[in-house]
Amino acid sequence: MPTDTKSHTPRKPRIGIIGTGNMALALGRALLAAGHFVAYGSRRPETKNEFHEAAGTESRLYGYQAAIDAGEIVIITLPYKEVAAAARKYADSLRGKVVIDITNPFAAQPNDGSSGAQVTATAIGDGARVVAAFKTNFASTIGEPVDSSGQPREVHYAGDDEQAMKTVAELIREIGFKPVNCGTLAQAVALDHMVPLMIRLDASEHASCRKSSFRIAGP
Ligand SMILES: NC(=O)c1ccc[n+]([C@@H]2O[C@H](COP(=O)([O-])OP(=O)(O)OC[C@H]3O[C@@H](n4cnc5c(N)ncnc54)[C@H](OP(=O)(O)O)[C@@H]3O)[C@@H](O)[C@H]2O)c1
């Protein structure tokens, strides 16, 4: 963990969040409340005053490059169709950082069996440390990590870099969720496919409340 130079106490890693939509706001607020520095990146930061107020003015709002530079961990919250191009454009800055890919391909699912997060990692290139996470969590549950049964909701995460996986598991725990290790970046394709199922089940079982979540129950 990075150290605060004045106090020599460990400080929480700084977070850059690319995008200013529903998931960006929900995750950014949770991480800010957990004591992280949070910088958002927008295509047009000058138009996002309302977002910034909702996010908390202790956070920062920049363009993409400055938000990436500000984060030791970068969370990509763009529409999936924008991700590969953004990852390629900012590859030099993203390489080596822990990059959390929360984006869901839906109809744009790669047809060679790859996961969306693998496409992101390939776009960043050698040295990419991508972890797929939060794909299977509705935005409206991020501020409610404990479900109505009193148990923490699961966050499924997957990746190939052991240290990055540990970092993301810790982040998930810090905001009140239960990290569930779902394997490698290749295996994250299962998470991509769980999302349309999650939306269908939320509709059929819970009237599209968008507050449903998966749980793997023990015996
Ligand atoms: N909503 C959920 O419950 C949920 C749950 C899990 C995962 N996800 C995934 O997380 C990602 C973000 O979801 P979201 O619901 O937060 O989306 P959203 O509200 O539409 O936000 C996406 C953000 O991406 C930026 N952006 C860049 N290029 C864009 C473009 N061409 N069109 C629209 N926005 C663009 C925008 O920020 P600027 O205008 O500031 O650039 C926008 O606010 C998606 O990939 C989604 O599949 C969503």
The count of structural domains within the chain is 1
7 CA to middle of ligand 1, Å? 37
Evaluate whether residue 86 is within a structural domain. yes
Q: What is the pLDDT of residue 205?
A: 98
**CATH code at 34?**
3.40.50.720
**In testing the pocket of ligand 1, which one of 17, 20, 23 has its CB within 8 Å of the most ligand atoms?**
23
Residue with tokens 């977002």: 51
Evaluate whether residue 155 is within a structural domain. yes
**In testing the pocket of ligand 1, which one of 43, 74, 156, 211 has its CB within 8 Å of the most ligand atoms?**
43
CB–CB of 102/82 below 8 Å?
no
Residue type, 144: E
Evaluate whether residue 6 is within a structural domain. no
Evaluate whether residue 56 is within a structural domain. yes
Q: What is the pLDDT of residue 6?
A: 65
The token pair at 126 is 């050698």
For residues 84 and 126, what is the distance between their CA atoms, to the nearest angstrom? 15
Evaluate whether residue 219 is within a structural domain. no
87 CA to middle of ligand 1, Å? 15
For residues 206 and 200, what is the distance between their CA atoms, to the nearest angstrom? 10
Q: What is the pLDDT of residue 10?
A: 77
Within its chain, how far is the Cα of 214 from the centroid? 17
Q: What is the pLDDT of residue 4?
A: 61
CB–CB of 87/67 below 8 Å?
no
Question: Domain range holding 37?
Answer: 15-206
Distances (CA, A) of 14 to 1, 79, 105, 117, 179: 10, 23, 27, 22, 20
Q: What is the pLDDT of residue 1?
A: 63
Evaluate whether residue 108 is within a structural domain. yes
Q: Which residues line ligand 1 (CB under 6 A)?
A: 19-24, 42-43, 48, 77-80, 82, 102-104, 134-135, 137-139
Evaluate whether residue 10 is within a structural domain. no
For residues 190 and 186, what is the distance between their CA atoms, to the nearest angstrom? 9
Q: Name the closest-CA residue to atom 13, ligand 1.
A: 23
CB–CB of 216/156 below 8 Å?
no
CA pseudo-torsion sign 159, 165, 168, 174: positive
E strands, the chain, are 15-18, 38-41, 60-62, 73-76, 98-101, 129-133, 154-159, 178-181
Evaluate whether residue 69 is within a structural domain. yes
Q: Which residues of the chain have pLDDT under 50?
A: none
3-state helix, strand, coil in the chain (%, to 5): 40, 15, 40
In ligand 1, the atom with minimum distance to the C-alpha of 80 is 45
